[in-house]
Amino acid sequence: MEIISKILFLFFFLLPILAASSENQVYIVYLGGHKGDKEVHEIEQFHHSYLASVKETEQEARASMLYSYKHSINGFAATLTPDQASKLSELEEVISVFRSHPMKHEMHTTRSWEFVGLEEGIKTTQMHSHTAGMTQGLLSKAKYGHNVIVGVLDSGFWPESKSYSDEGMGPIPKSWKGICQTGDAFTSSHCNRKVIGGRYYVKGYESVYGPLNRTLDYLSPRDKDGHGTHTSSTVGGRAVPDAAFMGDLAEGTASGGAPLVHLAIYKVCWAIPGQDKVDGNTCFEADMLAAMDDAINDGVHVLSISIGTSQPTGYAQDGIAIGALHAVNKGIVVSCSAGNSGPHPGTVANTAPWIITVGASSVDRKFNAPVVLGNGFILEGQTTTTYRLDNVTYPLVYAGDITVPNVTQELAGQCLPNSLSSEKANGKIVFCIRGNGTRVGKGLEVLRAGGIGYILGNAKGQGEEIVADPHVLPATALGEYGAMQILKYIKSTRYPAAKIYPANTQVGTSPAPFMASFTSRGPSVLDPTILKPDITAPGLNILAAWSEADAPTKLAADDRRVQWNIYSGTSMSCPHVSAAAALLKAIHPTWSSAAIRSALITTAGLKNNNESLITDSMGNQADAFQYGAGHFRPTKAADPGLVYDASYTDYLTYLCSLGMPGFDTSFKCPQKLPKTNDLNQPSLAIPKLNGTMTVTRTVTNVAKGKSYYFASVKPPMGYKVNISPNILVFKHKGQKKTFSITVEKERDVISNTQAANGQEYQFGWLTWYDGIHTVRSPMAVSSV
């Protein structure tokens, strides 16, 4: 998120919260998990008794309760004074009491699935039944996700989209316990065999903003934003032929990665009063935790959560981490977005080791809209706007040269609201620089000032990554090189001019994938011994379904409406991995959440379509703090050979090692605690290594028959790595083998690689190979 967006976020989003009464704010009181010895009404009464102990009357106690988490999660959300919250936190059985933090959708289809090798069946059939178009690929083996339920926490869905058709789908699984909650413009008829459940959660939101303004959002599972429709259709939308953005861009068959999964929609994100939706919705933890508690009880198999925060908190104060832990205990896979605070290190969100944390990268598709300068020089640009200029040359001006007097030198050229002189912009193509403000908002300012066209250029350090936007006027966007060329041209001629060509879709571009500059980076600031993110997936310029109640730009001034939109963010990459997890769940229904996470991580790819190592948007070699283990490869993940498994008990032990006991009152921490590095992760991170460290890992054979695996290591530069034993012999499927990894600092590390919190990290790889399966794990090490 760019600087001005953060300022607007603080002003419009946090100000009402800070201004709220200090005497009554929403807190979550977390008591761990349920033991299964109480009925629902008994649990609610139990929670009320806690409130009654700090409230003056029974009536006040009942009125203060927002949610009683009564299925898997034991706790409640209530309005409390800071003093009341403090008293509850002192009780021995209470694990944590924390404010219900607001989170945002942080900018947190066809080509992407073809790009990762999952096109089999999608292009040739609408998949009216789970037997249609079958071949021997992953999709057919998984029956396109048939009988798997994916829960999506987001802003709801647009039920009229063809992505949610249930034509030819099988019956609703008998295990499903959820409901279809009615509300604004939404009845039970809007659920079907595709979208089998829809709920909404608004109490946390309304405790801050008051009753929902029904002109801003629907008080129902219906999506007025577009974000939730985009993410859920990316997971499991049906195959829809002849889909495109605004008629002809990204044309093809649109499909989710697991097109026959059943979807359960949990609306937890809402429009922010007084703020344009281009900056995202808000999602309160009290609401999200209630949704996760219901989703676990409803019977979902996968949870997809494209929500996060750039302000990480400890696991005991993190609603998503708490909910995900209880989900994993029930065998549910939880996939979350890594965040969009890159390229700065230490910004990755959703870092709990039981979550699959997903970064964002590109696909091999561009929306070319070149710029021809007055001197004949051609610059490659991209856009998804459908507005076009006549095929003539127009005067070109740099925004920094036509700003009004009160704009500071630092912000000049960035086309912020009311910053441009109408007299000087009128009838011209205006060149703006990325940095502060939103990309589409800059175009809106050019339009306000009378500009006839708009060119957006990357600032220094942003590289060649281009987010293609559906601007409100004829426009295109350039990478850093093109931006610098335009500035040089404008300064070198008395009458600069340019022509912008309309967009066209180009497929097969290279290099791809490359890492998006916005994707958040590791290391984890909560626990740097857990390597995050885990993996990367397509998140740049992704086509998927959209809400017809919102514009493609989300700007209030944009009256266009679309069925499909091209959008970018780790919010878009997360549902790609959620879909892959659903396919694996269909093929391997007995695998644990950790086994599925491991299979995805250890089979990820490191090369682009040029057969070179994945780079960042500047063309520099990327590393594990950007892509985790690499770019996801669902087909490979179906047969990983070995998995690094971990249980709920292992995670509780890990929390004990962190000094966070009590997440489950029935679990007692062992007297001898292992190192946090010893959690059985399919990756390894050692911060501040002083001398030598040895950690252990256990792998489980999930392939058939007897096999021999040989270890190979590419050690981080400046370190020695020893694997013992370095040969693993498996006699049968399901057999486990334990080995040790010893890392020793060899010499002073001199490098210009990833620096974080004053540390220089080096990266390496551990690979087990049996002649068929390549089981690869990333390593990140730094020294004191």
**Mean pLDDT computed over every residue of the chain:** 91
What mean pLDDT do residues 559-587 have?
97
Provide the residue type at 605 as one letter: G
Which residues partner with 365 through β-bridges? Answer: 507
Residues 188 and 277 in one domain: yes
φ/ψ of residue 206, rounded to 5: -70, -20
What mean pLDDT do residues 359-377 have?
96
Residue 43 has pLDDT above 60, yes or no: yes
Residue among 34, 71, 227, 301 flagged as catalytic = 227
CATH of the domain at 47: 3.30.70.80
What is the distance between the alpha carbons of residues 451 and 424, in angstroms, rounded to a whole number?
9
Q: In which band, very low, low, confident or very high, does the pLDDT at 31 lie, cut at 50, 70 and 90?
A: very high
**pLDDT tens-digit map of 456-485:** 999 988 889 999 999 999 999 999 999 999
Provide the residue type at 142 as one letter: A
Classify residue 335: in a domain, yes or no. yes
Residue 131 has pLDDT above 70, yes or no: no
- C-beta atoms surrounding 731 within 10 Å: 9
What is the distance between the alpha carbons of residues 633 and 589, in angstroms, rounded to a whole number?
19
What is the distance between the alpha carbons of residues 733 and 105, in angstroms, rounded to a whole number?
42
Q: In which band, very low, low, confident or very high, does the pLDDT at 155 lie, cut at 50, 70 and 90?
A: very high
Residues 220 and 353 in one domain: yes
3-state secondary structure of 292: helix
Residues 604 and 703 in one domain: no
What is the distance between the alpha carbons of residues 637 and 313, in angstroms, rounded to a whole number?
31
**Can you read off the two tokens belonging to residue 98?**
């924390």
What mean pLDDT do residues 582-609 have?
98
Classify residue 504: in a domain, yes or no. no
Residues 53 and 151 in one domain: no
Classify residue 207: in a domain, yes or no. yes
**pLDDT tens-digit map of 298-329:** 999 999 999 987 777 899 999 999 999 999 99
Residues 210 and 283 in one domain: yes
What mean pLDDT do residues 235-259 have?
94
**Can you read off the two tokens belonging to residue 484?**
């610098």
Residues 399 and 529 in one domain: no
Residue 143 backbone class (left: φ over 0; alpha: ψ -120 to 50; beta: rest): left
Distance between alpha carbon 183 and the CA centroid of its chain, in Å? 28
Residues 357 and 472 in one domain: no
3-state secondary structure of 778: strand
Classify residue 374: in a domain, yes or no. yes
Alpha helices for 158-240 (secondary structure H): 203-209, 227-236
699 in Cβ contact with 766 (< 8 Å): no
Q: Looking at residue 119, what is its pLDDT?
A: 59
CATH of the domain at 472: 3.50.30.30
Query: Among the three residues 50, 77, 99, which one is the final residue of a domain in this structure?
Result: 99
762 in Cβ contact with 773 (< 8 Å): no
Q: Looking at residue 23, what is its pLDDT?
A: 75
Residue among 337, 547, 571, 578 flagged as catalytic = 571
Query: Among the three residues 73, 99, 125, which one is the final residue of a domain in this structure?
Result: 99
Q: What b/e string do you get for 143-177 counting C-beta neighbours within 10 Å, with b at 16 or more? A: bbbbbbbbbbbbbbbbbebbbbbbeebeebeeebe
3-state secondary structure of 84: helix
HEC sequence for 38-67: CCHHHHHHHHHHHHHCCCCCHHHHHHHEEE
Query: Among the three residues 470, 497, 524, which one is the final residue of a domain in this structure?
Result: 497
- C-beta atoms surrounding 14 within 10 Å: 11
What is the distance between the alpha carbons of residues 294 and 323, in angstroms, rounded to a whole number?
10
What is the distance between the alpha carbons of residues 164 and 186, in angstroms, rounded to a whole number?
14
383 in Cβ contact with 468 (< 8 Å): yes
Classify residue 647: in a domain, yes or no. no
Proportion of the chain above pLDDT 90, given as a percent: 83
Residues 412 and 490 in one domain: yes
| Active site annotation includes 298 | no
Residue among 154, 225, 276, 364 flagged as catalytic = 154
Task: Look at the block and give the residue holding tokens 């070109």.
Answer: 396
Residues 376 and 323 in one domain: no
Count the alpha carbons within 13 Å of 34 in the hemisphere toward its beta carbon.
Answer: 25
What is the distance between the alpha carbons of residues 491 and 499, in angstroms, rounded to a whole number?
18
What mean pLDDT do residues 607-621 have?
95
- C-beta atoms surrounding 654 within 10 Å: 26
Q: Looking at residue 279, what is its pLDDT?
A: 66
Q: Looking at residue 704, what is its pLDDT?
A: 87
* Nearest alpha carbon to residue 94 among 41, 50, 35, 44: 50
Residue 48 has pLDDT above 70, yes or no: yes
**pLDDT tens-digit map of 741-771:** 999 998 665 444 455 544 689 999 999 999 9
Distance between alpha carbon 9 and the CA centroid of its chain, in Å? 19
Q: In which band, very low, low, confident or very high, does the pLDDT at 784 lie, cut at 50, 70 and 90?
A: confident
**pLDDT tens-digit map of 385-412:** 989 999 899 999 999 999 999 888 889 9
Query: In whole angstroms, how far apart are CA 781 and each of 623, 678, 697?
Result: 12, 15, 17
Residue 127 has pLDDT above 50, yes or no: no
Question: Is 566 buried (19+), middle (13-18) or exposed (0-12) by CB count in 10 A?
Answer: buried
Residue 722, domain extent: 680-783
| Active site annotation includes 232 | no
- Could you give the number of structural domains in the chain? 4
CATH of the domain at 213: 3.40.50.200
**pLDDT tens-digit map of 270-288:** 999 988 777 678 999 999 9
Query: In whole angstroms, how far apart are CA 542 and each of 115, 117, 568, 596, 658?
Result: 12, 16, 6, 25, 38
Residues 231 and 331 in one domain: yes
What's this model's pTM, rounded to 2 decimal places?
0.93
What mean pLDDT do residues 232-247 have?
94
Q: Looking at residue 759, what is its pLDDT?
A: 62
**pLDDT tens-digit map of 507-519:** 999 999 999 999 9
Q: Looking at residue 3, what is its pLDDT?
A: 38
Collect all residues with Cβ–Cβ distance below 8 Å to 509 and sequence separation of at least 6.
364, 365, 366
* Nearest alpha carbon to residue 297 among 323, 260, 262: 323
- C-beta atoms surrounding 669 within 10 Å: 15
What mean pLDDT do residues 170-194 have?
97
Classify residue 6: in a domain, yes or no. no
What mean pLDDT do residues 45-62 have?
94
Q: In which band, very low, low, confident or very high, does the pLDDT at 103 lie, cut at 50, 70 and 90?
A: confident
Residues 717 and 688 in one domain: yes
CATH of the domain at 773: 2.60.40.2310
Q: Which residue has better confidence, 113 or 245? A: 245
From start to end of 158-288, where are the E strands?
A: 195-200, 240-245, 249-254, 262-267, 269-270, 282-284
Classify residue 672: in a domain, yes or no. no
Alpha helices for 603-713 (secondary structure H): 624-627, 634-637, 648-657
Residue 15 has pLDDT above 50, yes or no: no
Query: In whole angstroms, how far apart are CA 480 and each of 232, 434, 512, 617?
Result: 33, 10, 18, 10
| Active site annotation includes 227 | yes
Classify residue 258: in a domain, yes or no. yes
Q: Looking at residue 748, what is its pLDDT?
A: 61
290 in Cβ contact with 201 (< 8 Å): yes
Query: In whole angstroms, how far apart are CA 352 and each of 282, 373, 622?
Result: 22, 50, 23
Q: Looking at residue 758, what is its pLDDT?
A: 47
**Can you read off the two tokens belonging to residue 597?**
């996470």
Q: In which band, very low, low, confident or very high, does the pLDDT at 563 lie, cut at 50, 70 and 90?
A: very high
Residues 212 and 127 in one domain: yes
The residue count of the chain comes to 784
What is the distance between the alpha carbons of residues 363 and 631, in angstroms, rounded to a whole number?
11
Provide the residue type at 170 as one letter: G
From start to end of 61-183, where are the E strands?
A: 65-69, 73-80, 96-99, 102-104, 149-154
